[in-house]
């Protein structure tokens, strides 16, 4: 309970910072006036309502989705290095959107967002299979190597595809390094519903996912249908990661960093971990986005680069602490 409260306080502080920090700083009173008595002629009110608020909503959707996806992937694979961005799921969603936009010659954000889900689904199944998941033999190093190879391949294809377009530079920046800029152009409402569906599915499947931590053989002995649980977990990862990529582009390392923090705050209950992961993921992504706006103001560093700056050393630290089993 205390962990959930601490995570909620972190998220509230991050949301306040996200709305107040910008080219023109705002006070809590400015925020109240912008929402309670909106004046379209006031530049600060316009910035808060039309730029910072959508940006905050996109950060919440992407951060919560990737945080929960990381917890589910780490629980499914029993691997603390599992992360939907690092293992190519985000890159798969990005490639699906970019390729679909060229194939169907459509650029509206609602249609393109739908294309993120088949790419995320195919990538999640592929990396799980390449890592030995279908044989029940998921080794930490094997999974990371399979995911890193898939991620590099998919991002290379994304780069090759976007460079064929006249407006390729901005497209390249978004689909290689995620960003919360221009969030108002994204379908935030539908993607929030998709992320909520993924969260509901994750909470429903959490008790069965916990039995997989005992090993597939023992889980089967307890009556768990292992393939069904694995399919449900991959569906959760697809929904939450697809929604995150649709509103913020691919963001690596967030799903790696959040679950260890959530486990410390929530204990050993997977449902508690999922709830705290959503809060911590949203908070960390908003803090990273706010910091990115301050580093080289008035320009900004994209949030995908900010999470990578922190997540890279965290990945190395976790990898060094891992005790590799004989299968790795």
Residue 282 clears pLDDT 90, i.e. is over it:
yes
Is the link from the previous residue into 298 a cis peptide, with omega within 30 of 0?
Answer: yes
Q: Is residue 162 part of a domain?
A: yes
Statement: residue 38 has pLDDT above 90:
no
* Strand, coil or helix: 24: coil
The reply to whether 137 falls in a domain is: yes
Count of domains for the chain: 1
More confident residue, 169 or 155: 155
Kindly report, residue by residue over 206-259, the tens digit of the pLDDT.
888 888 777 666 777 777 777 788 788 888 988 998 889 888 888 878 888 898
- CA 202 from chain centre, in angstroms, equals 15
**What pLDDT does 325 receive?**
47
State the CB neighbour count (10 A cutoff) for residue 83.
29
Q: Residue 41 has what pLDDT?
A: 86
> Which two tokens mark 54?
């959508």
Give the pLDDT band (50/70/90) at residue 129.
Answer: confident
CA-based R_g, the chain, Å: 19
Three-point CA angle 171, 82, 321, nearest 5°: 125
Task: Look at residue 328 in the predicted model and tell me its pLDDT.
Answer: 41
Which of 44-58, 94-108, 175-189, 249-263 has maximum average pLDDT?
Answer: 44-58
Residue range(s) defining the domain that contains residue 43:
2-321
Among 2-6, 23-27, 189-193, 223-227, the minimum mean pLDDT is found in 223-227
Q: What is the pLDDT of residue 136?
A: 57
What is the average pLDDT across 69-79?
84
Neighbours of 158 (CB within 10 A): 23
Q: Per the domain annotation, does 43 fall within a domain?
A: yes
- Inter-residue contact 139 to 131 (CB < 8 Å): yes
CATH code, domain carrying 221: 1.10.3470.10
Domain contains 327: no
320 touches 141 (CB < 8 A): no
Residue with tokens 């005790």: 323
> Which pLDDT value is given to residue 1?
67
Residue 238's nearest CA partner among 56, 58, 88, 60 is 88
Looking at residue 229, what is its pLDDT?
Answer: 81
* pTM for this entry: 0.85
| 326 within a domain of the structure (yes/no) | no
Q: Does 248 map to a domain?
A: yes
H or E element: which one contains 223? none
- Provide the token pair at 6: 């601490």
Q: Where are the alpha helices (DSSP H) in 105-225?
A: 109-114, 116-130, 140-162, 168-176, 188-212, 216-221
Give the closest residue to 292 by CA, choosing from 159, 180, 166, 176.
Answer: 180
pLDDT at 101 over 50: yes
* Residue reference for tokens 């999922």: 274
Q: What gap in Å lies between CA 126 and CA 147, rounded to an integer?
A: 9
Any domain includes 47: yes
Q: Is the pLDDT of residue 33 over 80?
A: yes
**Of 130 and 315, more confident:** 130
Q: Which residue has the higher pLDDT, 79 or 18?
A: 18
Give a yes or no: residue 124 inside a domain.
Answer: yes
Q: Is the pLDDT of residue 284 over 80?
A: yes
pLDDT given for residue 173 in this prediction? 67
Q: What digits encode the pLDDT tens for the residues 285-320?
A: 999 999 888 888 777 888 888 888 887 777 677 767
């Amino acid at each position: 309970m205390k962990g959930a409260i601490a995570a909620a306080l972190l998220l509230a502080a991050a949301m306040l910072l996200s709305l107040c920090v910008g080219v023109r700083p705002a006070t809590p009173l400015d925020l109240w006036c912008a929402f309670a008595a909106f004046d379209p002629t006031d530049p600060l009110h316009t910035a808060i309502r039309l730029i910072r608020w959508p940006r905050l909503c996109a950060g919440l959707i992407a951060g919560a989705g990737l945080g929960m996806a990381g917890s589910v992937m780490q629980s499914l694979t029993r691997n603390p290095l599992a992360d939907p961005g690092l293992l190519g799921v985000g890159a798969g969603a990005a490639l699906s959107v970019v390729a679909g936009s060229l194939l169907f010659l459509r650029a509206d954000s609602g249609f393109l967002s739908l294309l993120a889900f088949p790419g995320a689904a195919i990538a999640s199944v592929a990396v799980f299979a390449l890592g030995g998941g279908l044989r029940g033999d998921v080794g930490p190093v094997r999974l990371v190597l399979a995911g890193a190879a898939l991620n590099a391949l998919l991002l290379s294809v994304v780069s090759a595809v976007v460079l064929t377009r006249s407006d390729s530079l901005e497209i390249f920046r978004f689909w290689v390094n995620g960003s919360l800029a221009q969030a108002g152009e994204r379908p935030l409402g539908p993607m929030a519903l998709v992320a909520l569906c993924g969260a509901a599915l994750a909470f429903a499947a959490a008790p069965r996912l916990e039995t997989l931590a005992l090993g597939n053989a023992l889980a089967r002995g307890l009556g768990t249908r292992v393939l069904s649980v694995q399919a449900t977990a991959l569906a959760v990862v697809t929904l939450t990661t697809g929604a995150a990529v649709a509103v913020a582009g691919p963001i690596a390392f967030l799903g790696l960093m959040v679950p260890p923090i959530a486990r410390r705050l929530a204990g050993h209950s997977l449902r508690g971990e999922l709830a705290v992961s959503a809060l911590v993921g949203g908070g960390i992504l908003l803090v990273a986005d706010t910091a990115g706006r301050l580093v080289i103001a008035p320009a900004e560093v994209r949030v995908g680069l900010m999470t990578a700056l922190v997540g890279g050393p965290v990945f190395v630290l976790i990898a060094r602490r891992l005790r590799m089993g004989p299968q790795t």
